Chain A
Amino acid sequence: MQVYLPIAGMSVDAVLLVGIGFLVGWLSGLFGVGGGFLLTPALILIGIPAPVAVASGANQTLGASVSGLMAQWRRGNVDPKMGGVLTAGGFVGSLAGVQLFALLRRVGQVDLAVSIFYVVVLGTVGGLMVMESVRAILRRRGAVRRRLHEHFWMHGLPLKMRFRKSRLYISVIPPALAGFAIGVLSAIMGVGGGFMLVPVMIYLLGMPTAVVIGTSLFQVVFVTANVTLLQAVQVGSVDIVLTLLLLLGGVIGAQFGARMGTKLRGEETRALLGALVLSVALSLLWGLVRRPDSLFAIGPAL
């Protein structure tokens, strides 16, 4: 069934979009991440223009994360204060990111920039995840428990604030900076950034794992909402028909994925997720390196 996407200005098979949404939703439910990092490349692959894929990907991630955030909030697993600091950084970051995006679009390098961002970020994160979880699997018994209060340079920074839910008394600079960086990535890659934020929260900020997922969802929801708004106003590339079709498949897939996810062990899940992230990065890298089918491309003059 063909459906006309009003903003993309093209006709796409609705079943294909719902299917992509389902698959990405299933994987994100399985691994407990937003799945934006799989969605945007998949959309570009089927011929959706990169600006529309990025903006609608952020919009979809927002929808996919809302129900998770509500569930976590009910269980009291959200640190609103920490979430607020991350979100404040994320707002500034996404504002900067959208400006950068609009600039890249004017000079005609959006596709390249999106691909490079994906290759670098996903390659790094995927590589680290695989290494870390393989190491964990190898010495599952003899693991050294990290001390709760390990002091390093970060703890000498000014502007300290008490985060009661996270049981932390730290400077707001690191979380605000992390929020900023992920805001930039969110605007350019159309992702929520949960898969990058979670390790930062655990290893850098030292937050208790119980509140990590809920608080990262808090940041993801607000930052993707901001990206959606900014992209809609500045670039005009949010396609609501595309978003809703993806969400239709996504919310169903996420439920199936989440059920299956409970049967997998932590380390195995993370190794699998790492391998998935890494393979997306490699396939995008291949797209940059191989000789393109057509050396010329047309785009709108801005």
Chain B
Amino acid sequence: MALSPLKRRATALAGLPCARSSPRRAFTLSGLSARLGQPHTAIALLLALLLAAPAQAQDQPLVAALSTQEVRISTAFTGEAIMVFGSTDQPIGPGGDEILVVARGPTRPLVVRRKIKALLFWINGPSARFNQVPGFYAIAGTRPAWQLLPEAARQENGLGLDALPLTSTGSRSPAFRAALLELEKSSGLWLEDAAPVEIRGGRLFNIAVPLPATVPTGDYRVEVLLVRSRQIAARAEMSFRVERVGTADRIADVAEDHAFFYGLVCIMLAALAGWLGSVLFRRD
């Protein structure tokens, strides 16, 4: 896979390789390294972590890190995967420790509308407004969260799509909440157990969280939870930023902050392109 100069720079900044790929696919470590064409890259990631923090790894039950602190949306952005990896002081797996990884994007208010049939036409009818809807939410674990934790702990920590604290105004029907879940899942912005957290060598774990092309910009929080005998024994919190860069960023910024100027530029550019095109491609 050829990385653009921009990507390469981003990779160098983060100090670790990052991967771009189709967001809809489930991401696994081996799949990722195969796509990168270097089978040992992903293992190197884990080793780098362990070498970087050998002292921490001994007295802390959980160490975790992200493959990058920054996801850059350029005009060629088609989605990206962010790697969450780390290690524990005791073996992971059935009967031992379990890992849960949750990634949350910035929240925004949304309106869910239901279409109703008025005479002949289907029109937007009743609606419900949800005030704090995460623009991105992904949860994965060595096993699904409901198998690992008691229901109360799961609801309290918002672990799972059905445990998201969504309050709404407007129509009270639960169908709106269900529809919101369904629509966000189908857009790839909300993920629940798309792929399990992979375990390597008993104590190393990793998961790739796929961000689709429509991923909102802002600050993201990633939480890694160590579950020991149905209790959260340790947690590690990390964050990364999704931001537009280059032309895409400049266009969106200008359009937002200097709308009048942007409108004028759009007029000029369209007129210029139309005129230039007719000069270049004139066929008479």
CB-based nearest B residue for A109: B124
Q: Are A300 and B266 in contact (CB under 8 A)?
A: no
CA–CA, A261 to B130, complex, Å? 53
Does A11 lie within 8 Å of B256, measured CB to CB? no
Please indicate the chain A residues that have their CB under 8 angstroms from the CB of B263 in the complex.
228-233, 238
In contact, B124 and A108 (Cβ under 8 angstroms): yes
Stretch at the interface among B41-49, B98-106, B110-118: B110-118
Shortest beta-carbon distance, B267 to chain A, in Å? 5
Q: Which residue of B lies closest to A107 (CB)?
A: B124
Total B residues in contact with A, Cβ cutoff 8 Å: 65
Report yes or no: B274 in contact with A66, Cβ–Cβ below 8 A. yes
Chain A's interface size range is 35 or more
Segment of B32-40, B50-58, B70-78 in the binding face:
B70-78
Do A62 and B262 touch across chains, with their CB atoms under 8 A apart?
Answer: no
Residues of B within 8 A of A289 (CB): 120-122
Assess whether B124 is in contact with A3, with CB atoms less than 8 Å apart: no
Within 8 A of B (CB), among A198-244: 221, 225, 228-233, 236, 238, 240-241, 243-244
Contact of B183 among A230, A298, A301 (CB under 8 A): A298
Give the chain B neighbours of A241 by CB distance below 8 A.
75, 248, 251
Does B166 interact with chain A (Cβ within 8 Å)? no
CA distance A256 to B251 in the complex (A): 32
A4 CB-CB contact with B under 8 Å = yes
Contact of B267 among A59, A290, A295 (CB under 8 A): A59
Name the residue on A nearest B213 (C-beta).
A11
**A67 proximal to B (CB < 8 A):** yes
Is residue A172 contacting chain B, with contact meaning CB distance below 8 A?
no
B75, B115, B274, B275: the one contacting A4 at CB < 8 Å is B75
Decide if B111 touches A251 in the complex (CB within 8 Å): no
> Are A301 and B109 CB-contacts (below 8 A) given A3-B75, A6-B244, A9-B214?
yes
**Residues B251 and A7 in contact, CB atoms below 8 Å apart:** yes
B255 within 8 A of A: yes
B278 to chain A, nearest CB (A): 3
> Which residues of A sit under 8 angstroms from B233, Cβ to Cβ?
none
Interface status of B264 (Cβ within 8 A of chain A): yes
Given contacts A11-B79, A255-B282, A289-B121, contact A298 B266 (CB under 8 A): no
Contacts of B278 in A (CB 8 A): 67-68, 71, 251, 254-255
Report whether B183 and A296 are in contact in the complex, using a CB–CB cutoff of 8 Å: yes
The answer to whether A244 and B111 have CB atoms under 8 Å apart is no
| CB under 8 Å from chain A, chain B span 243-284 | 244, 247-249, 251-252, 255-256, 259-260, 262-267, 269-271, 273-284
A250 CA / B281 CA spacing, docked (Å):
11
Report if A156 contacts B (CB, 8 A). no
Set B108, B123, B275: member contacting A70, Cβ < 8 A: B275
Contact mask for chain A residues 1-24; partner B; CB cutoff 8 A; 1 contact, 0 none:
011101101110000000000000
B77→A11 contact, CB < 8 A: yes
Taking CB as reference atom, which chain A residue is nearest B283?
A255
* Cα of A231 to Cα of B276 in the assembled complex, Å: 25
Q: List 6 A-B contacts (CB under 8 A).
A: A59-B270, A65-B274, A236-B256, A243-B269, A251-B280, A296-B182
